Structure 1
């Protein structure tokens, strides 16, 4: 990569991918270019990356006194993963001695020493893999002897007899590529060319600030119409001497059209919605609608107790369907996402995955 193309290192923290374990394909990890500013930092589509999360099959294995070196294949390529041994793996126990101790302890009932030994053995088994087993590994990417490898900070064997984990992984990773990784990291400052001259963008920001400052829960269009009046040019349209005056929209028409467009943008973003569509245009501010918040919270709390959703939680589409059935047909997915984000921030619910939620 040309050094001139790299974003300045002081701006890397603005990219959320920089502080996350990037779930990249092994092929892309091997092909990433290393930064010329800071060694150990790599770039994928201008995203600065230094730690990754990989799931794959062990296809090779080398063991040393202090570490295992596993070759992991995710279907796109093979990368070496350096997995340091814990103190438990370094200690070699005498199987016959441990078995005798366990039998002696079992005669007296519960033996905490034997149970602790079982726990340690289970931990050893999770960290000791053979060829053909499924491994998940997280850690920073390093280049050693001109070969790309992962220095594991966390690794463990994944028990996946029905391939549920692998199917979920193959479903989520392409979504991350579409939504994050394949979109280049670009700063979008609010310049005069793309922000100030856009009256609809200014209108939406004026309305958002008004809703936040006044804690507005619902409103009608004529309640906020005057807020946008300064954006309508008061200069009359003039025609040249040899042309007849051309009739254009009046100031009131321009104001109504601008308000209509701004409200449509706010609805698309989920900031506002109409609970009931009628001639009386009443808009509800999503984050200020306590009834909607309580309804969503109750739905998640009730349905999380059902056996179907007990383990992973309620999917966002299930919650959306339930909200539309029990509260309002006009609640959009964007509006629901704003409420769910607010509930998670307030610790009212838990996000078990990108699209699943459960209650305490």
Structure 2
């Protein structure tokens, strides 16, 4: 059902060219629980090399837990059970009393009463989001891994009224067709999207594969060595084996012509290729938020922003500092009335981090740190873009 162990992920620069990446994938829960997380960008998953981060699920509620701000529903579609985190919306506030400053409505005989209609609408919305065991629930949202468990952080959800099973039968007929026509089809991405950012090789396919291997090689090195900071020349030599393993140039088509000296030219070409490949790989890591420059200076010192798990033997100083600053911002601002309900927006967190830590931090870097803090159960995502402290 899934990609083989030896298959390589396509470069992240090409993911947007797969239409499944932008859609809510209607996968079976069994496949959602088994799909492998990307080694390039946390929070992205692959089903047969199709990049997926948000899904659409229909199933029966088999367990329920309620908290002050959210519900946890266990949804079963017949292939597996997944936890769905569903946040309570505005309709859970008390709307029974009249609004401040408003005049009491005089009931009209046979007329339209806006207050009564609003109450009916809010009651209907509340009933559609408060489910019991045995109800049918439809959930849409990104896939997340929290405390080692796969779950769906619902961006929208509602109770499905299906007395004659028409909705469920339609769903059961449609999903297998989506698998046959799209999900199970080979992932074919155009390499033209890489453009001039890819090192010059003999073809677009070879270039994208080389860039992907170089990106994974540097990521593995930074994670394994728990690198705190580095300069470009410190890591450039890590890519030498990739450049030296490229196919040699074609033989001279004219055997009667004396061959020109190859060694100096080949050495110069390899050096340029190595420099170009490293520059493209470093730019790719910066775009993904995995490395950044805390201070823009001539010595070009880069920081590593990888999220280090709790059971790691060593955590870098800068990782601890950036995570500490981000965690304190969320904890402090979540207590303010403005952010008490939904939490702090990622752009607010980014602005605060730039003020306290470094003005050169990008949104991608903050998102990587937020993902690491959420995996460590230090914060929780209220919506796709809001975070609050636990």
Determine which structure has more spread, i.e. the larger CA radius of gyration.
Answer: 1
Residue deviations 1:159-179 (CA, integer Å, cap 9, x gap): xxxxxxxxxxxxxxxxxxxxx
Q: Secondary structure at 1:358's aligned position in 2?
A: strand
**Is 1:209 paired with 2:228?**
no
Tell me if the contact between 2:29 and 2:57 (Cα under 8 Å) persists in the aligned partners: no
Alignment correspondent of 2:235: 224
Pick one of 104, 124, 134 that aligns with 1:134. Answer: 124
1:266 — aligned with what? 285
Q: TM-score, normalised by structure 1?
A: 0.51
Partner residue in 2 for 1:240: 253
SS at match of 1:353: coil
From 328, 336, 349, the counterpart of 1:298: 328
Q: Is 1:321 paired with 2:311?
A: no
Contact 2:27/2:55 (<8 A) preserved: no
Confirm or deny: 8 A CA contact 1:196 1:202 kept in the other structure: no
Q: Please point out which of 275, 280, 288 is paired with 2:294.
A: 275
Deviations 1:38-82 (A, max 9, x none): xx789xxxxxx9x9x9x9xxxxxxxxxxxxxxxxxxxxxxxxxxx
Structure 2 gaps, min length 5:
1-25, 36-46, 48-52, 60-76, 89-118, 138-159, 170-181, 190-203, 307-315
Give the one of 328, 345, 348 matched to 2:375: 345
**CA distance in 1: counterparts of 2:305 and 2:184, whole angstroms:** 30
CA positional deviation for 1:270: 0.8
Larger RCO, structures 1/2 (Cα 8 Å, 6+ apart): 2
CA distance in 2, matches of 1:131, 1:236: 71
Say whether the 8 Å CA contact 2:240–2:274 is kept in structure 1.
yes
CA contact (8 A) 1:195 1:201 kept: no
Report if the CA contact (8 A) 1:195-1:202 is conserved. Answer: no
**Deviation, structure 1 residue 334:** 1.4
Shift of 1:296: 1.1
Unaligned runs of 5+ in 1: 1-5, 23-39, 43-48, 56-128, 151-183
TM-score, normalised by the number of residues in structure 2: 0.47
Is it true that 1:148 corresponds to 2:167 in the alignment? yes
Using the TM superposition, give the Cα deviation of residue 233 of structure 1 relative to its aligned residue in structure 2, in angstroms. Answer: 3.4
CA–CA distance in 2 between the matches of 1:227 and 1:260?
13
Total equivalences in the alignment: 226
Check the 8 A contact 1:271/1:286 in 2, yes or no.
Answer: yes
